[in-house]
Amino acid sequence: MSRKCSGYLSIYNDWNLLEPALRSVAPMIDELVVVDGAYDWMAEYFRWLGHDPLRSDQRVYDIIGALGIPYRTVSRLWSNEIEKRLAGFAACAHRYICRIDADEVLTLDTAELERFFAANGAVAEMDMPTYVAPGWIQGTAGSDQVARQAFLFDREQVSAELHLNYLWLVLTADKLPRPGERPWPVHGQPVAFNAHLTEWRSPETALMRASFYTMNYMRAHGVPWLPELRNVPLQDPRLLFDLVTPAQFKDILLGSRLVAGNADLPAGGCVRRSPLSEAQEAPFAGCYGRLTDGLGALNRDLANERYFVTGQRVTIDIGTPGALEALTPDEMIVFEFTGDVTAAKVELRCLTADEPWQATREPRHWRSGRFLCVHVSSAERAQRAFLRRKLEFQVWMAPGHPVQQFRVRADRPLPGLPPVD
């Protein structure tokens, strides 16, 4: 029985975590099919960002080439994720097919993998918890179980269409060709542990992910913050960019949790120690440092004006000394808006390693005309009990266009503002 394995990598400009992801799966695959290209409903936006929607940045191919894995490329504009994954599965040459994503680093259980092959298994899964920080993963309170997803298929038993039913797909505006059909049982034990690093992308590639999630949502539900497009599925993205420029849209995404990072758990979630040792995490641990460096750089850019949506949450990372120092020379973060602030809500959100695992509090803050001032005390700055820490604000301004601008003012003193305690 042939045990040769193909892997298909569905990707578009997602290189931050790609090297450790591919290196981890390389021992089990004999060929790699790179399924490249953007979705047709995002192509115009990516062209504005300076990207070729038909092909990822050369950095993706430099990483693949350096690893020495034989690969072929299938590249074009795609209508949706379903079409892209079907094409990847169909292009694979070998009997066994594993689907590969660019944010997943595997630790293979070779003994269990052999048992899967010996049992003539159809579908195998991997443990797949989301990593919060080095050494820490998301779990479920009161349970030792972690999330699992299928990733290895026997094409002699599982068709391309039906393999989709075993995956985690962000459908939103699309439908599976044969929903609900899962005729083959999953192998009893996972054959790998997957360090799911989806929250570890640096801002440049996290922006790509945020663009996909946000525009995919708009395809189904419209644009909630634009009256003209609210509750109307966005069939043509040009309708959005007639009202909001691509530059404005990019800025709005930079202030989202998808780019600036999340400090919340899903309902029933907790934080747990990773089952991997420090040595096992070593191949990808450095990615976390690149993430925090990128978030610090994102904060430094706030000295320049950035677009945001009034009344919508803006997320800013303050999880490292560097990230906070990029915003303030003392204990006061001062935001300046293009007009007077009529109301504001400010929250400090922390994710911790101890129960209750997440905490939200309202830091001292006040408004003065077009300024919003947020006080972060020395004790708060020195605290290191958190794993992730975010400052979030919602600001309302006088009626007008929902897209406005703000910046951080680090220069002191500013007229009309209270002194630092």
pLDDT tens column, 186-245: 999 999 999 999 999 999 999 999 999 999 999 999 999 999 999 999 999 999 999 999
Residue 98 reports pLDDT greater than 80:
yes
Q: What residue ranges do the domains of the chain occupy? A: 5-199, 202-408
How much of the chain exceeds pLDDT 90, in percent? 91
Provide CATH code, domain 5-199: 3.90.550.10
What integer is the mean pLDDT of 25-41?
A: 97
Q: What is the mean pLDDT of the chain?
A: 94
Q: What is the mean pLDDT of residues 30-46?
A: 97
Q: Is the pLDDT of residue 336 over 80?
A: yes
Residue labelled with tokens 């001032």: 373
Question: Picking from 75-79, 156-160, 345-349, 353-357, which range would have the lowest pLDDT averaged per residue?
Answer: 353-357
Q: Is the pLDDT of residue 420 over 60?
A: no
**pLDDT digit string (tens) for 48-66?**
999 999 999 999 999 999 9
Dist CA 274 CA 288 (whole Å): 15
Q: Is the pLDDT of residue 1 over 50?
A: no
Tell the burial category of 23 from Cβ atoms under 10 Å away from its Cβ (0-12, 13-18, 19+).
middle
Rounded CA separation 276/42 (Å): 37
pLDDT at residue 147 tops 50? yes
pLDDT single digits (tens) 259-294: 999 999 999 999 999 999 999 999 999 999 999 999
Which residues 6+ apart lie within 8 Å of 53 measured at CB?
A: 37, 38, 42, 43, 46, 47, 77
Answer yes or no: is pLDDT of 138 > 90.
yes
| Poorest-pLDDT segment among 6-10, 209-213, 284-288, 410-414 | 410-414
* Closest CA relative to residue 237, chosen from 45, 20, 418: 45
Instruction: Return the pLDDT at 4.
Output: 94
Measured N-to-C along each axis, helices 246-254 and 203-221 cross at an angle, to the nearest 10 degrees, of: 110
- Residue 416's pLDDT band (cuts 50, 70, 90): low
Comparing CA positions, the residue from 300, 318, 209 lying closest to residue 253 is 209
Q: How many CA atoms lie within 13 A of 293 on its CB side?
A: 6
Cα separation, 33 vs 94, in Å, equals: 11
Segment 173-186, tens digit of pLDDT = 999 999 999 999 99
Reported confidence tier of residue 412, pLDDT bands at 50, 70, 90: confident
Backbone angles phi, psi at 322, to 5 degrees: -65, -40
Surface-to-core class of residue 5, CB atoms within 10 Å of its CB (0-12 exposed, 13-18 middle, 19+ buried): buried
115: nearest Cα among 5, 192, 195: 192
- pLDDT value for 86: 98
- Residues 192 and 109: beta-carbon distance below 8 Å: yes
Question: What pTM was estimated for this model as a whole?
Answer: 0.94
Mean pLDDT of 390-403: 94
Report the pLDDT averaged over residues 7-24. 98
The confidence score (pLDDT) of residue 418 equals 61
pLDDT, residue 36, reads 98
Kindly give the pairing relationship between strand 136-140 and strand 269-273: antiparallel
Residue 415, pLDDT > 70, answer no
- Average pLDDT score over residue span 350-367: 93
pLDDT at 378: 62
Q: What pLDDT, on a 0 to 100 scale, did the predictor assign at position 108?
A: 96
Say yes or no to pLDDT of 381 above 60: no
